[in-house]
A = this chain, B = another copy of it.
Amino acid sequence: MVNRAAIRETYGCIRPYVRRTPTIEVDGDDFGMGGVRLVLKLELLQHTGSFKPRGAFANMLAHRIPAAGVVAASGGNHGVAVAYAAMKLGEPARIFVPTVASPTKIERIRGYGAELVVTGERYADALAESERWAAQSGALAVHAYDHEETLLGQGSVGLEFEEQAPEGVDALLVAVGGGGLIGGIAAWYEGRVPIVGVEPELAPTLARAMEAGRPVDAPAGGIAADSLAPRRVGELMFPLAAQWVERVVLVSDEEIRAAQEALWKTLRVVTEPGGAAAFAGARRAGFGKRVGVVVCGGNTTAVDFGRA
């Protein structure tokens, strides 16, 4: 069961391995959003530059790891996180990534000592390959979003956020790819705070699922394709979203890029497109006076000190 008690228990297991990322409260005026207070959860400061290690450690600490180690498929950040967690726990890892993965992420996976297999154009192709290999080798498959432990681990972002913003928020905005992060957070809050999903217009997995009443295939493109563009949301997250995600906002690639620029210019926070998507959604009006935003990833090649 993915619920509050299980998330708390999982958090107790993974806490020694993850950073408790800070929140910062900023004035919406700074970003042209008058009258709004923003509470930003800076989860991009997590190990490996995204929230994904929470789920990776949750999986690996919940199971005995076979001799073949672990295997994962990933648009990038999950692969990096599994490689990192395997390194920390001293286990072998093999990571399948689609060709769309960013060079930064590929470099990191290699840097953590995992075996890297670049295969197929989209996440789904890499996933199919990884499943074949898991069946053949006996390696433990760590799913990017559609495992109970993954949801429990990502849900700890909600647990921390509530401790850091105990007075609550009028809405908490969370980017959606496969839905592991928002599913876990929704399960943590159980409706006590309105959870809003934010997706790229070009990768509307949760929006399409909500329309259809079940996970269905959606386009998987756009500027955040390396992190927010699996083909569909997970089966496990969908009932959580259906019950507790208040709505889904779609943002354009231009809005995501503008959000990246604004977060850097005004707050000195560097995000990847998927990491800025929830903030892009928050810039739309109508979420209330006090708005929470999970800033969930910072793996970009936009930084080069050699040119400063």
Contact = CB atoms under 8 A, between A and B. Distances in A.
Nearest to A47: B30
Interface string A109-136: 0000000000000000000000000000
Interface stretch (A55-63, A205-213, A232-240, A256-264): A256-264
B261 A305 contact: yes
A285 B305 CA distance: 25
A110 to B, nearest CB: 14
A299 B267 CA distance: 10
B30 A25 contact: no
A270 B30 CA distance: 20
Residue in A25, A260, A261, A267 whose Cβ sees the most chain B Cβ within 10 Å: A267
Q: Count this chain's copies in the assembly.
A: 2
A307 B305 contact: no
A302 B304 contact: yes
A307 B104 CA distance: 13
Nearest to A104: B308
Contacts of A21: 24
Given A26-B19, A302-B303, A268 B49 contact: yes
A45 B268 contact: yes
Interface of A: 19-26, 30, 42, 44-45, 47, 49, 257, 260-261, 264, 267-270, 272, 298-305, 307-308
Nearest to A302: B308
Given A24-B19, A269-B45, A302 B301 contact: no
A133 B264 CA distance: 34
Contacts of A257: 305
Given A260-B305, A302-B303, A304-B302, A22 B24 contact: yes
A24 B45 contact: yes
Contacts of A301: 307-308
Contacts of A260: 305
